[in-house]
Structure 1
Amino acid sequence: MRPFQIAIPQEDLEDLRRRLAETRWPPAGPSSDWERGVPLEYLKELAQYWQTSYDWRAAERWLNSFPQFVEEIDGVEVHFVHVRSAEPDATPIILTHGWPGSFVEFLDVVGPLTDPRAHGGDPADAFHVVIPSIPGFGFSSAPTEPGWDVPRVARAWAELMRRLGYDRYVAQGGDWGKVISLRLAEADPEHVAGVHLNMFVAMPPMDDPNAFADLDERDLRKLQKAGRFQQDGMGWQQIQSTRPQTIAYGLSDSPTGQLAWVVEKFKEWSGADKGPEDAVNRDRMLTDVTIYWLTNTAGPSAQLYYESTRFPEDFMRTWAGPWPLSVPVGIAVFPDEVCPPIRKFAEPLLPTLSHWTEFDRGGHFAALQQGDLLVQDLRDFTRSLKTT
């Protein structure tokens, strides 16, 4: 395993600023809200901030403060953060990001996870933390052959944890991290102690007319939200699942286009009222976007959609389950998630569901939005694994 440090050439940063300054802006359109996409005036201000005020070098130093490595697995260079706790009985955990996220999502919770003693927690709840970048994302290399679907990524994660010497570990994730973590438990049940998720897709049984009979007001609101998302919020999924190479040309040539493509999801999926900064730190969000830009991974990251959700049957197989696992599963439900799950519909899909927490705040980017809540729920779930 090779130690890795991020070192972006200065000319790449100058090229980014030049392209931002020379953006060809579209007309504003008939509305200034977010219903038709990212508003022009908002994006102009954010792009100017990115060009003139955002400090990549400061972000780079922060990123490099975490020990990073690269390891070749199945023909792909996998980039990962690996932070071992000083606590001798710490539990290994592998955290998997999604799209349009990156390993950056989890860095603010590394401290509380690895060193609870220093963050007001119990040292018995410590973790050894592994945060890989999915192949085609960030500083992992892009697959050069077809077939890198969710199960293949999961098998790569199992191999990574084996090489790190972890015999028993917990898998955690949301978005792509959700399905990769579940497939990891399927692929490596002897070593996965449990799976913790901050996202779960639980579709109601459409052939049961009584399925909705006893839902309370909260669950009915979840159903309504999921219905709106299915009708109005899945355009990105359709194009990345079917034409990932076509969308890559525009996103790889225009940093403003890349910015809009990602920022829209930070706004819509976080529950933010006005702009994504209401829910997610602006510089953290821009660090995520800048990584997509500097690594030129708009296209490679979209390929996972093609591999795993190109056809409706692929989508259902990838996201809908069922998940006949042999290890315990815990779910943290954040109300501003795009499709917050209903327990009644989740339980038949997850026969080993053993932990369920519903929070009153937070959305899709749980570690960025409500890191303290996510960390505490992870501690609670993992503590339960030690008593069973």
Structure 2
Amino acid sequence: MSSFDDAVEPFRIAVPDQTIETLKAKLALTTFPRETSFSNDGDYGARLDDVKRLATAWRDTFDWREAEAKLNDTLPQFTTRIGVDGHEDDLKVHFVHAKSERKDAIPLLFCHGWPGSFMEVIKILPLLTAGAGEDEPAFHVVAPSLPNFGFSQATSKPGFGIPQHAEVCHKLMLRLGYDKYVTQGGDWGYMITRAMSAKYPTHVLASHLNFILASPPSPLSSPLLCLQYAFGLYTAAEKAGLARTRWFQASGSGYARIQGSKPHTPGFALADSPVGLLAWIYEKLVDWTDSYPWTDDEVLTWVSIYAFSEAGADASLRLYYEAMHRKDIASVGSEIESFQAWNGKVPLGLSYFPMDVAVLPSSWGRRLGPVVFEKRHEHGGHFASFEKPDELVADLRTMFGKSGIRAKLLF
């Protein structure tokens, strides 16, 4: 491994004018699907009228420069270069880093997933750094753009999977002077922070998850949980969660199978067609949230981060393939399953939101590790930090407050 520069440089988003003009030119040439009597039936996918409206706004009225300025003015951004064993000597990583004025603030890594980005931290950042009072914790927040996402660099070799992402995130925290820290994650952030807890348990002092995957109970290891499952001995909320999970597996997870098997093929559409990218992501923003009232500007800012990604929107799909095709693991999917195993070294906080894509019984989640905080919310979906920022922050404050595990953390 060669040496790499450990400098941290300030960063401001500055998409070239020509890139914006090219996007608008492509939007002007869009060929939309022919209208049918069911073109706006969400069961078939993204609604034609919605995509047409958003595409027209993206071309004619959406002001990226205004959105860009808001991101730059609201989120303190930086880049640094990080070496990844066996892959990159100097991978450029873009990240948000907001320090609290509180001397007792807790370093927290916020890890996004797909189709999310560093932008997901925008609503919770001021709440986390400020704290609610002396008895409530405050946080130094670090929110990276994962490699192949946002304004981080593209990776150059195959096999850059969850362990490598975990390595990047851990080394980033060390680079910023945080030898001990806590994590928060959903979607791929669940997998990556679980990997960090397994690989670096002396550094990761606790982990909070708002997306919880756990293996179903087995007769040998959990006979009582199997009986509970067989007889449906769950609360109404848990039964609704299992129904939501079954819906997603049957009707909402096709994208993951495609991205996990042949990511380059849909990648052509995402890289070349703004409307293809818009429809692919917008469907998830609608289906994975709890009737969140998306504004057109919110959607278009969200999707523009992919359209203007340094690595290209197609690069973001590769993590699905890498997670399902680890060369050193015999069975497909077993890497993901490995992060559902018990880890007794890192305390866990679990927040369940009813319209997430997987909402499992609490007894399943408790098989992941020592749960010190747990809450099932009545509203909210997959993008908790954006949909329900107050609720997510309240959970973090409770978990890491003086009445939670704050006294046990070794900062």
Question: TM bucket by the smaller chain?
Answer: over 0.9
Amino acid at match of 1:70: T
Q: Establish whether residue 165 from structure 1 lines up as the match of residue 177 from structure 2.
A: yes
Distance 2:294 2:134 in 1: 28
Please name the residue that 1:88 is paired with: 103
Of the structure 1 ranges 192-201 and 279-288, higher mean CA displacement relative to structure 2 is found in 279-288
| Closer, same or farther: CA 21–325 of 1 in aligned 2, 3 Å | farther
One of 229, 244, 247 as aligned partner of 2:266: 247
Distance 1:80 1:108 in 2: 16
Please name the residue that 1:377 is paired with: 395
- Flag the structure with higher helix content: 1
Q: Establish whether residue 140 from structure 1 lines up as the match of residue 152 from structure 2.
A: yes
Distance 2:157 2:258 in 1: 20
Amino acid at match of 1:198: N
Please name the residue that 1:41 is paired with: 49
Distance 1:368 1:122 in 2: 26
CA drift of 1:221 comes to: 1.7
CA drift of 1:245 comes to: 1.0
Of the structure 1 ranges 325-334 and 60-69, higher mean CA displacement relative to structure 2 is found in 60-69
Contact 2:346 2:369 (8 Å CA) reproduced: no
RMSD: 1.8
Runs of 4+ in 1 over 3 A off after TM superposition: 120-124, 206-209, 278-282, 310-314
One of 175, 190, 210 as aligned partner of 2:227: 210
One of 82, 92, 95 as aligned partner of 1:73: 82
Q: Establish whether residue 235 from structure 1 lines up as the match of residue 254 from structure 2.
A: yes
CA drift of 1:121 comes to: 4.2
CA drift of 1:310 comes to: 4.2
| Closer, same or farther: CA 124–144 of 1 in aligned 2, 3 Å | same
Distance 1:323 1:61 in 2: 44
Please name the residue that 1:360 is paired with: 378
CA drift of 1:136 comes to: 0.4
Amino acid at match of 2:286: K
CA drift of 1:39 comes to: 1.4
Amino acid at match of 1:322: A
CA drift of 1:206 comes to: 5.5
Please name the residue that 1:275 is paired with: none
CA drift of 1:93 comes to: 0.3
Q: Which runs of 5+ in 2 are unaligned?
A: 1-7
Please name the residue that 2:407 is paired with: 387
Q: Establish whether residue 266 from structure 1 lines up as the match of residue 280 from structure 2.
A: no
Cα deviation, 1:141-198, whole Å, max 9, x if unaligned, reads 1110112111111111111111111122110010001111111111211111100011
- Alignment TM-score, normalising by the size of structure 1: 0.93
Please name the residue that 2:208 is paired with: 196
Distance 1:243 1:176 in 2: 18
Please name the residue that 1:221 is paired with: 240
Q: Establish whether residue 14 from structure 1 lines up as the match of residue 29 from structure 2.
A: no
Cα deviation, 1:310-339, whole Å, max 9, x if unaligned, reads 489443431561132401000111111111
| Closer, same or farther: CA 62–122 of 1 in aligned 2, 3 Å | farther
- Alignment TM-score, normalising by the size of structure 2: 0.88
Q: Which runs of 5+ in 1 are unaligned?
A: 273-277
Q: Sequence identity, in percent?
A: 37
Of the structure 1 ranges 189-198 and 214-223, higher mean CA displacement relative to structure 2 is found in 214-223
Contact 1:158 1:187 (8 Å CA) reproduced: no
